[in-house]
Amino acid sequence: MNQGNMLLLYNANVVTGESAGNGSVAVSGEKISEVLYPEEDGTVVFEGRKIPYCSLADEFKKSYPDARIYDLTGKMLISGGIDTHVHFREPGLTEKADMASESLAAIAGGVTSFVDMPNTTPPTISAERLAEKINMAEGRSYANFGFHIGATNSNSDGISAMLESKEGAESFGGIKVFMGSSTGNMLVDNESALERIFMNHEKEVLVHCEDESIIRENISAAQEKFGEEIPFSEHKNIRSRKACIRSSAKALDMAIKYGTRLHLLHVSTAEEVEMVRAAKKLNNGITAETSVNYLWFCDEDYEKMGSRLKCNPSVKTGRDREALINALRDGTIDSIGSDHAPHLSEEKERKYLTAPSGLPSIQQSLPVLLTIASQHDIPLTRIASAFSERAAEIFGIDRRGKIQKGYYADLTVVDPDRKFVVTKESLKYKCEWSPYEGVELQGYVETVFISGKVAVNDGKTDTNAVFGKKLIFNR
């Protein structure tokens, strides 16, 4: 180990996608240098010597006098979160959010890397727009950053050109496709364009699946019944399960036909869970994501929350929530993407038809997941997998997302037993609200490291230092 920036994270419950147990992690500079687990006899091999595990911290200090040692007894250590589904609103919508404000919220919640969606103003649909976005994040993002490219009916040639070079392919995560519905005027409804996208075998194709024709019919029916005073509880009927199922079925069928690496976004229904289970048997490149909003809320919450629960797809029933929780437990749901989509409070206060869809949630994702895990007997290994590891694997993110020697030291320390109530004062979001305000959660994010640097200390974010780096996508 070199002598620069030596850390020992000692005696934590180290949780990975494969195991959970007592251990320690040594960090040298930006990278993890050793992951140390005690043997059955209470010893550990440190620098080629077998020593009592209980003396590891002392021995480490002898070898590296300037090292910082964190005693994490009773704490959980997991890889920093990788959220591959966020809308940080920059460029063009920075009154709602921006790279700095929302990345600060991300690290406060234990998320150390994000991949931003392309439906900004202007949309990220070319190499030039992508380069502009990367420049916006450089030196301003507190978390590591990456971006998806958006598909349109006419930009497949441009995306293909980017994929032809190693640098171009490494510069973006996946190809985002709005199938059937779009919240950013990026609807891909040309069948030949869709086929060209799905015939791509190099990059993940991410799909937002809702059938626009069904949604339009449902809006007309709601207007006929309620006029302009449509209650927010109608959202689940307007952005209906039928609209999700029809569009998702088409995407899955195409992925099976063309062998596409397909990532189905924000799964919200029990039917889609079963469809994904079946589809994975026919194409092992199919993966699925849901957000914490669909795991925590259900249609019974619309009456109390109104527009603060309006998101696309809609939050469905308690039965759907249960199916999603079970799918997270058994691995049918591969990863968690917050679908962090902030809007100003005054926008959300509008009537149903003009109130925008989207919820800010990235800061609460991990505590919500840990609370659900505690309530529903979900192994912590599954949380570690869905929170970071699978996202890194799916998108080929270089040396991040695992507690493993040689990987960047993006690490999150959690007090798993500490309960806390989400308050407005605690929020880092630029929009200054959260659907989780007033909710008691379990699992307090205490300390966060990004590339070996302390970004959050004792629950407090450091706004004086920006450690975020551009993600490299090796797929």
Is the distance from CB of 456 to CB of 462 less than 8 angstroms? yes
Instruction: Tell whether 459 is covered by a domain.
Output: no
Domain hosting 304: range is: 81-395
**Residue 283, domain member (yes or no):** yes
Last residue of a domain, one of 74, 109, 126: 74
Alpha-carbon distance of 358 to 339, in angstroms, equals 8
Residue 467 lies in a domain: no
**What per-residue confidence (pLDDT) applies to 371?**
98
Distances (CA, A) of 127 to 133, 155, 335: 10, 11, 27
Counting the structural domains of the chain, the total is 2
Last residue in a domain, options 360, 395, 430: 395
Question: Residue 151: inside a domain, yes or no?
Answer: yes
Same domain assignment for residues 145 and 63: no
- Percentage of residues in the chain with pLDDT exceeding 90? 91
Within a domain: 426:
no
46 plus 111 within the same structural domain: no
Q: What are phi and psi of 366, to 5 degrees?
A: -65, -50
Beta bridge partners of residue 473, listed in sequence order: 397
270 belongs to a structural domain = yes
Handedness of CA 402, 403, 404, 409 (dihedral sign): positive
pLDDT tens digits for 27-80? 999 999 999 999 999 999 999 999 999 999 999 999 999 999 999 999 999 999
Q: What is the pLDDT of residues 137-177, one digit of tens each?
A: 999 999 999 999 999 888 988 999 999 999 999 999 999 99
The pLDDT score that the predictor gives to residue 462 is 84
Per-residue pLDDT tens over the stretch 417-464? 999 999 999 999 999 999 999 999 999 999 999 999 999 999 999 888
Task: Give the residue from 74, 102, 125 where a domain finishes.
Answer: 74
Both 18 and 145 in one domain: the answer is: no
Q: Give domain status of residue 400, yes or no.
A: no
pLDDT for residue 201: 80
Do the bridges between strand 460-461 and strand 453-457 make them parallel or antiparallel, or are there none, so unpaired? antiparallel
Q: Is residue 242 located within the same domain as residue 337?
A: yes
- Looking at the structure, tell me whether residues 28 and 165 fall in a common domain: no
Is 1 a residue whose pLDDT tops 50? no
CATH of the domain at 110: 3.20.20.140
Q: Are residues 70 and 108 in the same domain?
A: no
pTM of the model: 0.96
Does position 186 have pLDDT exceeding 80, yes or no? no
Residue 198 and residue 63 in one domain: no
pLDDT digits (tens, 9 = 90+) for 104-142: 999 999 999 999 999 999 999 999 999 999 999 999 999
On whether both 59 and 141 belong to a single domain, the answer is: no
In this structure, are 56 and 190 located in the same domain? no
Indicate whether 369 pLDDT > 60. Answer: yes
Q: What angle do CA 468, 369, 435 make, to 5 degrees?
A: 85
Please indicate whether residue 188 or residue 236 has the higher confidence score (pLDDT). Answer: 236
The answer to whether position 472 is within a domain reads no
Q: Nearest CA to 274 among 239, 243, 312, 320?
A: 320
DSSP state of 451: T
Q: Do 55 and 97 sit in the same domain of this protein?
A: no
Tell whether the model's pLDDT for residue 189 goes beyond 80. Answer: no
| Mean residue pLDDT across the chain | 95
